[in-house]
Amino acid sequence: MAVNPPLLDPPLPVPCFRVGTASCGVKSPEIRGKRQDLTLIVSDEPAHAAGVFTQNRFRAACVDFGQETIERHGQDIRCIIANSGNANAGVGEMERLWAQQLIEAGAAACGCRPEQTLSASTGVIGTPFPIERIERHIGEAVASLRPDGWQAAAEAIRTTDTFAKWASRKVGNHTITGIAKGSGMIHPNMATMLAFVATDAPLTHDQLQPMLRRAADRSFNSISVDGDTSTNDTVYLLANGLGMGHAPLQDTSEFEQALTEVCIELAQLIVRDGEGVSKFVTIHVNGARSEEEARKIGRTIAVSPLVKTAFAGSDANWGRILAAIGNAGVEIDRSRVALAADDVCIVENGQLREDYRDEAGMAVFAKKEFTLHVDLGLGEAAATVWTGDLTHEYITINAEYRT
């Protein structure tokens, strides 16, 4: 039920990176051979790395291991191993053992050390992890390693996604390519999503980490499908340019802009493919005292079930939006608030405009894509959040997820 699934240009190969996939039957042995569910991303040179992770306190062992590896060995990473079909989360004491075995399998397959290996898992929570099936078939991923394997990898990390997601940018002589998965359990800090981004730009771990955090705040932490965050959310960024002896970039502004664009494109694709989503809604909040307050209000609107069901019903129920603004925990002056849907102004100075006609608002809400503009009238800061509607299809998908 994706909203206008885009026709994406093929992802650009990133110099000195190779990507491969395998079919291991992770979710079920019957799936073996029917779909790819294991991904290897290998840097031929030691890469500097950054990561951002879920803030869910029941987070999976692979997230704990990934954060520890980034902190201790973020200047010497060689590969990422990722599987779909099983989250390896919520399974007790064996979870850490299975996560470590996945890392060791990836390291052995790629010819590097476990401390040079990052892992990620996504899929059903609370099901024993079939590490033996991954170990048995990982050789397929090694045999398929190639520079242009990014699209296949984007397919292999899917769960309930209806299409694969990738994005690329060129920055001078350097390339940025990222892949992502996500469709449901999507909400800031972070969401049921994985994203892996690679570049051949010469950047250090100390440069990458703050850039990735800022890019994630403006992208993956600015989307919501259903208000739930997951145990396994992970974004990794690898840069291997320093392995070729280049000095690190001194001016990183152009690179950070391109990185943010890649992350925003991936994040928007996740919302467009949201479970049961039939509309893509941009929420732009300006006139705030700070970007943080603007984003907080945007998120509150985006996650409100009453607002999202109004989107689904093409009901321009502006009262629900105002209620969400007031429920965000941000100090506002009601007499300054303005609200518009696309170019239809609904509320001005905190009250309904005399010339507003409901049929005009309804016409905007009936579109597959539209923008809500909120002006708080308090300052110069702004933020943008992307979300979708909440339909009966969402219930159907998640009622049948394990079956």
Strands (E), 249-360: 280-288, 338-341, 344-348, 351-352
Which one-letter DSSP state was computed for residue 346? Answer: E
What is the number of helices (H) and of strands (E) in the chain?
Answer: 11, 15
| The Cα angle at residue 300 between residues 295 and 303, in degrees rounded to 5 | 120
What are the structure tokens assigned to 367, written together? 């579109």
What are the structure tokens assigned to 290, written together? 């700070």
Which one-letter DSSP state was computed for residue 390? Answer: -
What are the structure tokens assigned to 62, written together? 């692979």
Around 202, how many Cα atoms within 13 Å sit in the side-chain half-sphere? 11
- State yes or no: is 300 an active-site residue: no
- Determine contact, residues 201/249, Cβ cutoff 8 Å: yes
- Choose, from 21, 39, 122, 192, the residue flagged as catalytic: 192
Q: Which bin fits 138, alpha (ψ -120 to 50), beta or left (φ > 0)?
A: alpha
- Determine contact, residues 335/349, Cβ cutoff 8 Å: yes
Q: Report phi then psi at 128, rounded to 5.
A: -50, 140
* Residues known to be catalytic: 192
